[in-house]
Amino acid sequence: MRVAIAEDGALFREGLVLLLEAAGHEVVGCVPDGDRLLALLAGEPVDVAVLDIRMPPEPDGGLVTAERIRATWPETGLLLLSHHAETHYLMRVLEIGTERIGYRLKEQVAGVRVLSDTLDRVVAGEIVIEPVLAKRLVRGRVGREDDPLDALTEREADVLRLMAEGRTNNAIAAEMFVSVKAVEKHTASIFTKLDISGDPSVHHRRVLAVLAYLRSHRISG
């Protein structure tokens, strides 16, 4: 796939290029800030743009640039990287979109397999969230007054967390060492308890519904 990179840290930027090329991807450009990335994309269409969240031209320039990319080239995948799993960054990411977008920690994508898997999922139309943050979002709400999540069993909360990461039923079953049928049962119960539609006609309905639910409530972190 064709990838463009915007990262103001020279060492990490060059490391990403090496990882992507090792995985067989074509790096069409590698720049240190958002403005130059936008100029690059104007002449070089890509499948995915990889952006550092905290880079010029603003403290959170990666998010601002991602918003502009999504508005101008809505089919371009976006992978936002950070050294920290911050809830307020995720809320901004969700405002940009819930398809063809990812938010991962830099230390977690510093390997060919994980980076390639993340990019493949983004290009496929998924949203990919750093697992530690998805876990924090779900479990961080347990125990709050009048919170529908309190109605979930511990197993259902685990399934919800994995759903929020964009995992398939098969992947959730493998992670939890249960059958796919058990996961389907937990999923149905989650939607019922949270009063979230399970309409199969909605693209990526599980991820969109879970994230829409989390987004509709203010979460500290």
**183-193: per-residue pLDDT in tens?**
999 988 887 88
pLDDT of residue 210: 66
Taking 90 as the threshold, does the pLDDT of residue 38 lie above it? yes
- Domain limit, last residue, from 104, 129, 154: 129
Number of domains in the chain: 2
Looking at the structure, tell me whether residues 143 and 72 fall in a common domain: no
User: Strand 48-52 and strand 101-105: pairing?
Assistant: unpaired
Task: Considering only residues 179 and 198, tell me which one the structure prediction assigns the higher pLDDT.
Answer: 179
Which residue segment(s) compose the domain that 58 sits in?
A: 2-129
Distance from the first to the final alpha carbon of the chain:
35
Residue 16 lies in a domain: yes
Task: Considering only residues 157 and 134, tell me which one the structure prediction assigns the higher pLDDT.
Answer: 157
pLDDT of residue 204: 52
Helix (H, G, I), strand (E, B) or coil at 138: helix
Reported as a pLDDT band with limits 50, 70 and 90, residue 218 is very low
Residues 2 and 45: beta-carbon distance below 8 Å: yes
Distance CA(118)–CA(61), nearest Å, equals: 22
- Domain limit, last residue, from 103, 129, 155: 129
pLDDT of residue 69: 97
Burial per residue of 144-165, b for 16 or more beta-carbon CB atoms within 10 angstroms, e otherwise: eeeeebeebeeebbbbbbbbbb
Taking 90 as the threshold, does the pLDDT of residue 119 lie above it? yes
Residue 170 lies in a domain: yes
Mean pLDDT of the chain: 83
Residue 183 lies in a domain: yes
Six-digit token string for 179: 């059958």
Name the strands in the sheet holding 77-82, side by side, starting at the edge strand that comes first in the sequence.
26-31, 2-6, 48-52, 77-82, 101-105, 127-129
- Domain limit, last residue, from 86, 114, 129: 129
- The residues pairing with 53 across neighbouring beta strands, listed in sequence order, are none
